[in-house]
Amino acid sequence: MSPFGLLPMRAWASLFSQVLRPSGLVCIREVHFHSQVSEAVLTSQLKPHQEKSNFIIKTPKGTRDLSPQQMVVREKILDMVVGCFKRHGAKRLDTPAFELKEMLTEKYGEDSGLIYDLKDQGGELLSLRYDLTVPFARYLAMYKVKKMKRYQVGKVWRRESPTIVQGRYREFCQCDFDIAGQFDPMIPDAECLKIMCEILSGLQLGDFLIKVNDRRILDGMLAVCGVPESKFHAICTSIDKLDKISWNDVRHEMVAKKGLAPEVADRIGDYVQCHGGVSLVEEMFQDSRLSQNKQALEGLGDLKLLFEYLTLFGIAEKISFDLSLARGLDYYTGVIYEAVLLQTPAQAEESFNVGSVAAGGRYDGLVGMFDPRGHKVPCVGLSIGVERIFAILEQRMKTSGQKIRTTETQVFVATPQKNFLHERLKLISELWDAGIKAELLYKNNPKLLTQLHYCEQMGIPLVVIIGEQELKEGVIKLRSVASREEVAIKRENLVAEIQKTLSES
Amino acid sequence: MSPFGLLPMRAWASLFSQVLRPSGLVCIREVHFHSQVSEAVLTSQLKPHQEKSNFIIKTPKGTRDLSPQQMVVREKILDMVVGCFKRHGAKRLDTPAFELKEMLTEKYGEDSGLIYDLKDQGGELLSLRYDLTVPFARYLAMYKVKKMKRYQVGKVWRRESPTIVQGRYREFCQCDFDIAGQFDPMIPDAECLKIMCEILSGLQLGDFLIKVNDRRILDGMLAVCGVPESKFHAICTSIDKLDKISWNDVRHEMVAKKGLAPEVADRIGDYVQCHGGVSLVEEMFQDSRLSQNKQALEGLGDLKLLFEYLTLFGIAEKISFDLSLARGLDYYTGVIYEAVLLQTPAQAEESFNVGSVAAGGRYDGLVGMFDPRGHKVPCVGLSIGVERIFAILEQRMKTSGQKIRTTETQVFVATPQKNFLHERLKLISELWDAGIKAELLYKNNPKLLTQLHYCEQMGIPLVVIIGEQELKEGVIKLRSVASREEVAIKRENLVAEIQKTLSES
C-alpha cells in the first residue's frame, strides 16, 4: 500500500505531474490546510483575579505550525531531495541551530541585519544560523576537513519582513548539498547543476530554467562599464532586481538614486539584458570591452567548460547564461546559479512570482575566513528552497481536492459488544508486537458504527472484529473497509493472515 | 544491501543487541567520532592588518556538530522511534523553534530560568522552545483541536550547565508522542507505557525499568505526612534526588535545609523508599494514612486500572510503582513515568548514571492555560531522550570497532586511461538518471589505483570501468570491489545489469 493511503501512488504521481497553465513565472497564492488559520489569532482571557492583560495565542511573526497534512507533503519533498543528495554520494551533517555571533559576522553583507541574535543571558553572544553554508564552512575549518561532499537539512532564521503571501517566512527549511575540496575545474560545479535539475524534474514542478553567471564576469562587466569599485555592491543590488522590475526602472534607480552616469548605466544595460546558452559565452569572449578584463575572461573560460559538462549531462538546454544574475550573499567567488519555474499553476486567483526555488554557487574564500592560518578550501554548493516548492505542491493538492492520509494505520481493532476492552487490548498488543500498525478507540464500550466510521474517515484498510461469538469459536473476523467483505480466520493465524492480506493489497 | 553498507544488517543488529555487563544503572563515558574533537577549540588568527583580536572556532557551549558517522547512528535511532509512533497511529506535527516568550511562562516552574530568550531586536519577545509539550498544547488551544494523537521530532534548548560527559547538552533532540482528548481512563496512558517498552526493547539497550507514580499520590502522601502545602514543591525537589543520592542525604536536606520536622521527614521516608508492582498499589490502598486522602485514592485507583491494562499488554513486569518518582515539570497532573536502564556497558572506564532515557506523564491542565475560555483538553504523552540513547549506542559502536558507511553509493565510475572524463560524465549521468547511486573522482585524469582505493575505503560495492578497449568494443567492465571479479557487459545493458547485480547482493 502507498504510504499515503487514501491517495494511491498513481494519484500522488499525478499530483506532482499535473500540467500547469504556461504563462510566464509561477503564480500561486498562499493556501492553508488549517481552515481555522484565519481565526488563529485568538485572545486568551485569563481569569480576572490573575490581573494579567489578555494575551494572543499565535506563533511568532513570520513563523507557522505545520499540520499533519502539511507534514505529509513536506516529508515527501524532503525524501525526494535527500534521495537525490544520497544518489550523488553525499554524507549527512548536522550543526547547532545557533552559532557564536562572531562566526556569522562579515559573511552576509547587507543582509547581516536580518540575523536573529539571542539575548545576552550571561555567557557567549549567540545568533541563530542564517543559512547552512556558513556553519558548514565553520565545520570544515574547525575540524580541518579538506574534502567533503555533505548534505544538511534544517531550519534557518532570517528577520525579513514576512510577506507570507509569497511563501516567505522568518523560519524556513533549507536543504543544502555542497562539495568541498580542491578538484579539477567545473566538475563539481556541473554536478551541482545536475542535482538541481534532477530535483526539480523529480518534484514535477513544471518547466524550469537555471540562470547561471559568474561573480568574476559580473565584477569584470562593472569594471569595463566604468562603475567605480566603491559602487559595485550597490549596483549589483539594483541589477538583482531585474527579475522583478523592468530595466528602465533599474536604470532609473542606478542613475537617480545611486549616482551612476547615464552612459555607464546604458553600457550595463547592454550586458544585463543578455541571456542565452553557450553561444552567448562565445559572444562575450569576443566582446571588445569584456575581453580586456582578466577576471571576466577567467569566468567566461570556466563557464565554457561548464557548458561542455552540462551537455554531457544532457541538461545544457535547461541552463541560461544570464548576465543579470547577481545573488545577494557576499561569500560567492565564482559561478552562481538560480533556478526559476516557468509555469503557472491553474486556478491561482491572485498571482505572484515565487522567485527562485533553488540556488547556489562557488565560495572559495569562506572556509579560509575561519581557518587560523587562512588556508582555503574551495567549495561549491546549492540550496533547495523547500518552502516555495511546498507552497506550490500544497496549492496543487488543494486544487485537486485529493485527500491525504496523515497516518499509516493498517488495521483497526473493533468489537460490536460491550465489555470487550480486555480482548481488544490483548489483540492490539499482539499486532503491535508483530510490527503491524494498529489502532483502537480509547473507549470502554464504543459503538461498532463509530468504530467503522473512524476507519473510513481515516482511510484504515482493515478491521479485525472480535465479539462473544468469535471468542467462543476461537476466530476473528477480518473485514475490508473498502469492500465491506468479512472473512473469519483462526485466532492463532491472525498476524499471519493480516500480513498476507496487507502484502497482497 | 543494507543501507549501512560496510556494516551488514546482521552486524547492525548485533550492535544493538550486544550483551552488557549487568551492574546497576548504565555507566558510559562520552565518546567522540571526531578524532579531532579534543583539539576542536582553535584560535583563528586574522591577518594583522585587520586589527581584530584572535577568535576561537567552536560551537556554542553545550552544543555540538554531528559528524556523518554520528548522523548515521542518530538517524537509525530516529527511524526506530518514529516507526513505533506510526505503528500507534500518530500524525506528525511541526512547530516553530521559538515561541512568544509569554507562551512559555508559568509552565516550567523553577526550570524557567533555563529558557533561552531571543534578543529584543524591535518586535515580539521570543524564546527558544524548552520542550515539545508546551508548543503542542499551544497548538491544540490555538486551533481548538479537541482530540489528536501526534508525534513530533525536533530540537529543544535549555541553558543548563552542560556536563557533556553525562550526555547533557544545551541543544538536544526530543521525540515526543502525545494523546490529547477526553477518553476512558488509563487506556491512552497504558498505550504510552507500551510505546516506551516497544522503543526501549527495539533499540536493544539492555534491561530497563519504567518507574510509575501519580502526582495526586505524591501530593496526598505529602499532605498526610504533615508537609505544609507551601513546602510541597521544595520537598518534591528533594525527593526527586533519590535516584542519585541516598535517603539519609535527602532526609538531611529536608530537615536541615528545608526546615521539615524530623518526624515528618521520617514519615515521608517510609513511603518514598517503597517500590513494587500492583501489589504495592493494593498495599497503599490499605495504608491507614494514605487511604484518608481523596486525591491519593484517586491516583491509586487509576494506577490499579493502569496495571490491569499493562498486564494485558504483557509489560507489567517492566513497570515499578515508585513513590519517590516526582518529575520536575510543573504541568503534570496525574500519572507520571520515567524509564531507566538497568545495565552497564562493558569497557566503560569512568562510569556514570545516564539517568532516564524516556519519560512522560499526564497533563490535563496545560491546554486550558492557553484557551481563551480555559477549556481543558486532557493529555498524556512521553518523550524519548535521544541524546542519552545515542551516547550509549555510540559507545557500543566504538567498543565493537565496527566501521559504518556514511554514504550509500552503489557504483563508482572509473577509468584506467587519460582523457576519459567525457565518457565518465556521460556514463555516470545515465546511472543517476536511472536512480543508481553513483560517484566518480573530480579529476580529469585520476589513477586507476586511486579510484579503486576510494571504493574500498568508502565501501562502494561495484565499479564500472571504461577505457579505450571497452569503448571500441561497445562494452563496460563491471567489477565487484569485494571479490575483484570483473565481467564485461554490453554498454546498452549497463543500467539493467547493475540493477540486477544490486538486487542480488
Q: How far apart are CA B34 and CA A338, in angstroms?
A: 34
The nearest CA of chain B is from the CA of A173 a distance in Å of 11
Q: Do B91 and A98 touch (CB under 8 A)?
A: no
Q: Which of residues 455-494 of B touch A (CB under 8 A)?
A: none
- Provide the shortest C-alpha distance from residue A444 to chain B (in Å): 6
- Cβ pair B68:A314 closer than 8 A: no
A188 touches chain B (CB under 8 A): yes
For residue A129, say whether it is annotated as part of any ligand binding site. Answer: no
Task: Give A67's contacts in chain B (Cβ within 8 Å).
Answer: 93
Task: Tell me how far apart the alpha carbons of residues B275 and B476 are, in angstroms, rounded to a whole number.
Answer: 69
A25: its cell numbers: 513565472
Task: Look at residues B207, B201, B231, B206 and name the one whose alpha carbon lies nearest to residue B219.
Answer: B231
Q: Is B52 on the interface with A (CB under 8 A)?
A: no
Q: Which residue of B lies nearest to A155 if distances are taken between CA atoms?
A: B97
Please give the Cα distance from A138 to B56 (Å, whole number): 11
Tell me the C-alpha to C-alpha distance, in Å, between residue B327 and each of B193, B199, B353, B358.
16, 21, 17, 12
Query: CB-CB: which of A171, A191, A437 is closest to B89?
Result: A437
Per the annotation, binding residues of B are 131-133, 158, 174, 178, 327, 331-332
Q: Select from A68, A150, A314 the Cβ nearest to the Cβ of B92.
A: A68
Taking CA–CA distances from B188, the nearest residue in chain A reads A442
Q: Are strands B411-414 and B438-439 parallel, antiparallel or unpaired?
A: parallel
Instruction: Name the grid cell of A163.
Output: 510577506
Is A42 in contact with B67 (Cβ distance < 8 A)?
A: no
Q: Phi first, then psi: what are they for B500, rounded to 5°?
A: -65, -50
Edge-to-edge strands, sheet with B438-439? B438-439, B411-414, B462-465, B475-480, B486-490
Q: Is residue A44 classed as helix, strand or coil in its secondary structure?
A: strand
CB-based burial of residue B27 (10 Å sphere; 0-12 exposed, 13-18 middle, 19+ buried)? buried
Query: Quick one: which of B434, B474, B396, B412 has its CA closest to B76?
Result: B396
A16 burial (CB, 10 Å; 0-12 / 13-18 / 19+) is middle
Which pLDDT score, from 0 to 100, does residue B216 have? 96
- If one counts every other C-beta atom within 10 angstroms of the C-beta of residue B435, the result is 15
Residues 6+ apart with CB under 8 A from A456: A481
Q: Residue B426 corresponds to which cell in the numbers above?
A: 556521460
**Are B93 and A66 a contacting pair at CB < 8 A?**
yes
φ/ψ (deg, to 5) at A325: -75, 120
Q: Check A141 against B435: CB less than 8 A apart.
A: no
Helix (H) or strand (E) holding A84: helix A68-87
Nearest chain B CA: its distance from A57 CA (Å): 6
Residue pair A367/A376 in contact by the 8 Å Cβ criterion: yes
Nearest-CA distance from A421 to chain B in Å?
A: 9
Here the cell at position B203 is 533499540
Full set of structural domains in chain B with CATH: 68-400 (3.30.930.10), 411-504 (3.40.50.800)
Q: Which of A328, A283, A281 is closest to A307 using CA atoms?
A: A281
Are B442 and A187 in contact (CB < 8 Å)?
yes
Torsion region of A467: left, alpha or beta (phi above 0 gives left; psi -120 to 50 gives alpha): beta
Is the distance from CB of B379 to CB of B328 less than 8 angstroms?
no
Contact A407 B118 (CB under 8 A): no
Residue ranges with strand state E in A5-160: 42-44, 55-57, 91-92, 98-100, 126-128, 148-157
Residues of A439-471 as b/e, b for ≥16 C-beta within 10 angstroms?
bbbbeeebeeeebbebbeebbbbbbbbbbeebe
Name beta bridge partners: B412. Answer: B439, B463
- Say yes or no: A93 contacts chain B, CB-CB below 8 A: yes
User: pTM value?
Assistant: 0.89
Burial of B402 (0-12, 13-18, 19+ CB in 10 A): middle
Residue in A40, A90, A435 nearest the CB of B143:
A40
State the nearest Cα–Cα gap between B163 and chain A, in angstroms.
Answer: 16
| C-beta atoms of A57 and B188 within 8 A | no
Say if residues B186 and B266 touch (Cβ distance below 8 Å): no
Query: In the prediction, which pLDDT does B438 show?
Result: 98
> Cβ of A150 under 8 Å from any chain B Cβ?
yes
* Helix H or strand E encompassing B436: none
Q: Is A262 on the interface with B (CB under 8 A)?
A: no
Give dist(CA B77, CA B59) in Å, integer.
24
User: What pLDDT, in 10s, does the model give residues A420-471?
Assistant: 999 999 999 999 999 999 999 999 999 999 999 999 999 999 999 999 999 9
- Conformation bin of residue B123: beta by default, left when phi > 0, alpha when psi is -120 to 50: left
- Euclidean distance between CA atoms B92 and A72, whole angstroms: 8
User: What string of pLDDT tens digits covers the 505 residues of chain A?
Assistant: 344 444 444 444 444 443 333 333 333 333 333 433 333 333 443 343 343 446 789 999 999 999 999 999 999 999 999 999 999 999 999 999 999 999 998 888 778 889 999 999 988 999 999 999 999 999 999 999 999 999 999 999 999 876 655 667 999 999 999 999 999 999 999 999 999 999 999 999 989 999 999 999 999 999 999 999 999 988 988 998 888 889 999 999 999 999 999 999 999 999 999 899 999 999 999 999 999 999 999 999 999 999 999 999 999 999 999 999 988 767 899 999 999 998 655 444 444 456 789 999 999 999 999 988 889 999 999 999 999 899 889 888 888 888 889 999 999 999 999 999 999 999 999 999 999 999 999 999 999 999 999 999 999 999 999 999 999 999 999 999 999 999 999 999 999 999 999 998 7
**Distance between CA B311 and CA A164 in Å, rounded?**
51
Count CB neighbours of B365 within 10 A: 17
Q: Which of B149, B148, B379, B187 is nearest to B302 (CA)?
A: B187
Q: Cβ(A190)–Cβ(A306) under 8 Å?
A: yes
Q: Does residue B122 sit at the A interface (CB-CB below 8 Å)?
A: no
Question: Least CA distance to B370: which residue of chain A?
Answer: A44
Nearest by CB to A118, which of B90, B116, B181? Answer: B116
Concatenated DSSP letters for B276-326?
ESHHHHHHHHH-TTGGG-HHHHHHHHHHHHHHHHHHHTT-GGGEEEETT--
**Hey, are the CB atoms on A63 and B184 less than 8 Å from each other?**
no
Q: Tell me the chain B residues in contact with residue A443 when contact means C-beta distances shorter than 8 Å.
A: 183-184, 187
Best residue in A4, A34, A44, A189 to probe B by mutation, most B CBs within 10 Å? A44
> Measured between CB atoms, does A147 come within 8 Å of chain B?
no
Q: Strand B42-44 relative to strand B55-57: parallel, antiparallel, unpaired?
A: antiparallel
- B96 contacts on A by Cβ (under 8 Å): 59-60, 63-65, 171
CB B222 within 8 A of CB B235: yes
B447 CB contacts (<8 Å, ≥6 apart)? none
**Across the interface, do B99 and A60 touch by the CB < 8 Å criterion?**
yes
The Cα–Cα gap between B216 and B434 comes to 61
Residue A380 sits at the vertex; the CA angle it makes with A376 and A385, to the nearest 5 degrees, is 135
B418 closest CA partner among B464, B453, B467, B465: B467
Integer CA distances (angstroms), B503 to A84, A340, B2, B498, B499, in order? 20, 37, 11, 8, 6
CA distance A85 to B326: 46
Non-local CB neighbours of B457 within 8 Å, separated by 6+ positions: none
DSSP sequence for B360-388: EEE-SSHHHHHSTT-----EEEEEEEHHH
Q: What is the pLDDT of residue A52?
A: 41
Among B72, B155, B438, whose Cβ lies nearest the Cβ of A97? B155
Q: Chain B contacts of A43, Cβ < 8 Å?
A: 372
From chain A, pick out residues whose CB is under 8 angstroms from the CB of B190: 425
Instruction: Give me the tens of pLDDT residue by residue for chain B, a chain 505 residues long.
Output: 343 444 444 444 444 443 333 333 333 333 333 433 333 333 443 343 343 446 789 999 999 999 999 999 999 999 999 999 999 999 999 999 999 999 998 888 778 889 999 999 988 999 999 999 999 999 999 999 999 999 999 999 999 876 655 667 999 999 999 999 999 999 999 999 999 999 999 999 989 999 999 999 999 999 999 999 999 988 988 998 888 889 999 999 999 999 999 999 999 999 999 899 999 999 999 999 999 999 999 999 999 999 999 999 999 999 999 999 988 767 899 999 999 998 655 444 444 456 789 999 999 999 999 988 889 999 999 999 999 899 889 888 888 888 889 999 999 999 999 999 999 999 999 999 999 999 999 999 999 999 999 999 999 999 999 999 999 999 999 999 999 999 999 999 999 999 999 998 7
Q: Which residues of B touch A426 (CB under 8 A)?
A: 312
In chain B, the residue whose alpha carbon lies closest to the alpha carbon of A55 is: B102
A325 is in an annotated binding site: no
Q: Any known ligand binding at A178?
A: yes
- Give alpha helix (H) positions in A413-465: 421-433, 448-458
B144 interfacial to chain A (CB closer than 8 Å): yes
DSSP structural state of residue A357:
E
Q: Which residues of B touch A150 (CB under 8 A)?
A: 68
Nearest to B7 by CA among B408, B319, B355: B408
